[in-house]
Structure 1
């Protein structure tokens, strides 16, 4: 598949400590096959100085294709991603978290199966391959694997990491999906609805994972896990 431009959507909420390094890495990254970058940073009502840091970065890097879109109130990761999807103009879209748990230098790993014409969707898996990952939170790992197992039962996919924050899609496909979830329910919802597309080609690649502790700003919790179960069942039962 010929790809001229990749849209990188960065949902950010109170990530003043990491948004600068994320943007720095992405702007310096050279994509394979000379693919161009469109960077959409969606500031989801931050109150910790994140907005100012993004604005300062854009002013410093005037030659880069970076846009800042701001939600005045915090609406959730899913809502921020939907805002970015509506504005995206790239041939493909990738979601890049603003917290440095996922390494922007690995974007090319997800891009490669699409460039080869083999994939329409690529998930980065924290549980596949030999990439580095921080050892943290055993029960989080168990929970993620259970949610993936449950999701696979409804979608008939054999993913190893449905909850991964690293996902790449063909833009027109993603823009044609009616997404509704405002929070972390985005992950099971987009997986369920994507899996319904006839002839969709889904790939997984192994990625690194540099997890954060709650003291370092990790936001997802057990309530989000319960909601993810509800989303898997809800959108899975709507499959037909």
Structure 2
């Protein structure tokens, strides 16, 4: 917006698993499109773009010389199949890759993220912006990131799988409408009425914090995070169940 760019949102749908269709993608790309932003695995839905969808986006970008900003922050948190990166699909000079240590290594408080590109001009401009905005992250955080690179995060991923299983069991028992998250650590389910009111009341009456879909321009849904212990998830889901029963 500062650069006078206009965000054009491709609104994904529940019935399609929150994955954009071929027609939806093509219809939103015009001669004025400068970049396509891809977030897979996705926040807030937990959806993962299939290879066909990613290849379509890459083909469009490569043929029309459009940049692809690929947010792959949740790439290690994939529960079905394997993560497919845009790296290797999009031309090197068109790809702007975004990732972080926050999710994959459960170190959100360190605030360590990064952008990578082989496009020298884009790299230069990103460096200018970062230099004036934050200069660099603090030294302890950089050492923490190095340690994370040398640490096997497989146990953490297995823990997330357990947490996901617990959330899904409760959600199915309650009859919630949702698309099973294939990645990330969120459950995004449908609610009747105002999603914002649902979240406010759930917080005030049951002390359970959630995020309304309206925060992501997707009203009618609520996002639950299962990035916490199994014990807390079980208690939180139990309280959610009580709240839902009281609304019936």
- The answer to whether TM tops 0.5 is no
Q: TM-score with structure 1 length normalisation?
A: 0.29
* Greater Rg over alpha carbons, structure: 2
Q: Where is the strand percentage greater, Structure 1 or Structure 2? A: 1
Higher relative contact order, structure no. (Cα contacts within 8 Å, ≥ 6 residues apart): 1
